[in-house]
Amino acid sequence: MPKAARHKRRAVPITAAHSLSPGTATTVAAVPLPPIHVDGQEKIIIDTKPLASLPLGKLGKSSTETRRRINHFHTLIKQYSKLAALRSKDPAAPDLDLKIDALSREMAQMGGLDWYQKASLLGQAKSRGGDTSRWLVPKLRDLGLHRHGKMLRLLDVGALSRQNYVKEKAWIHVVSIDLNSQEPGIHQLDFLDIGSLPSSSSAYSEFATPFDVISLSLVVNFIGDAVTRGNMLKQAARLLPLQGLLFLVLPLSCLTNSRYLDDDRLLAIMNHLGFEQIAIHHTAKLAHYLYRLATRPVASSSEPAAAAPFKKKLLHSSPGRNNFTIVV
């Protein structure tokens, strides 16, 4: 593939390889498939079809094993993002392509984004606590939004299913998007591209009216790069009207076991972006936050990282912590 084309790609592998015979890992070839284009932007494809019958049935039996594999997939995404960022700075750096191909192969062996999404969907099963809308909906009711006279427009980013808000369809109009759509009705769209959609795009009209609520549930932690995570939050602030709500869910360990992030730091970041926190809830595994946009955001996503007021900063140095952070 020409280098110029490679550089346009986002540093998130979407889906990766083919020629895979189950159980014969050495035959996997990371073949760059033709990229998909989502509203003019090139996205990386990982073809996972040969694995369709492999891991899911088995994974469904053990939530611990599913969680372990999902965590490993997150680690691969982080490594991939770091290498892709290095390659975009120095395309001639030695061995980068080899390392990136090796990571793509490993993700493809696991089943790629398609596997990851299906495994994440298993985690939303009622028997495992249900999806995170179960926390949000009562909060929206407490705020009286179920009877404020018009449909609430909710943007569900990283939507695995259209079922999550179906019981609320009388008062919530859900627009669902994902990098890799799992269902008809879920727009295949990058959240960061909303706002720059050409008016000729088929999805344009759905995104032309502002949203009352944006849900970023287990999406920000999916991103491997701390600056892009910050850009997701800035994008939410940019898209919401004043008083609009942001629902953010992160794995609890991103807050309670990170060297670089905790609840106080997250609150400071969100306040800086114009949000006030109106609800917070930690379960054994997840941290849920509901914010209201109280003032207009101050920064643009194109602001260079060097000027960022919230850079990576060591907060907790005890051993065994992870490196999760958000840079704004």
Ligand X SMILES: C[S@@+](CC[C@H](N)C(=O)[O-])C[C@H]1O[C@@H](n2cnc3c(N)ncnc32)[C@H](O)[C@@H]1O
Closer residue to ligand X (CB): 104 or 117: 117
Contact in structure between 172 and 154 (CB atoms under 8 Å) = yes
- Decide if residue 15 touches ligand X (CB under 6 A): no
State in angstroms the smallest separation of the CB of 188 from ligand X. 9
φ and ψ of 82, to 5 deg:
-60, -45
State in angstroms the smallest separation of the CB of 191 from ligand X. 4
Q: Which stretch binds ligand X (CB under 6 A): 1-9, 50-58, 218-226, 289-297?
A: 218-226
Torsional sign, CA 268, 273, 279, 282:
negative
- Decide if residue 192 touches ligand X (CB under 6 A): yes
Distance CA 277, CA 289 (A): 7
Binding to ligand X in span 145-184, by CB under 6 A? 157-158, 160, 177-180
What are the E-state strand segments in 50-197? Answer: 152-157, 172-178, 186-188
Exactly one of 109, 132, 231, 301 binds ligand X (CB under 6 A); which one?
A: 132
Distance CA 284, CA 294 (A): 30
Closer residue to ligand X (CB): 161 or 277: 161
- Decide if residue 293 touches ligand X (CB under 6 A): no
Distance CA 166, CA 185 (A): 13
Taking CB atoms, the residue at the shortest distance from ligand X is: 158
Binding-residue total with ligand X (CB under 6 A): 22
Q: Within 10 A of 198 (CB to CB), how many other CB atoms are there? A: 8
Residues that bind ligand X in the complex, under the rule CB under 6 A: 113, 117, 120, 124, 131-132, 157-158, 160, 177-180, 190-192, 217-219, 222-223, 249
Annotated binding site: 158, 178
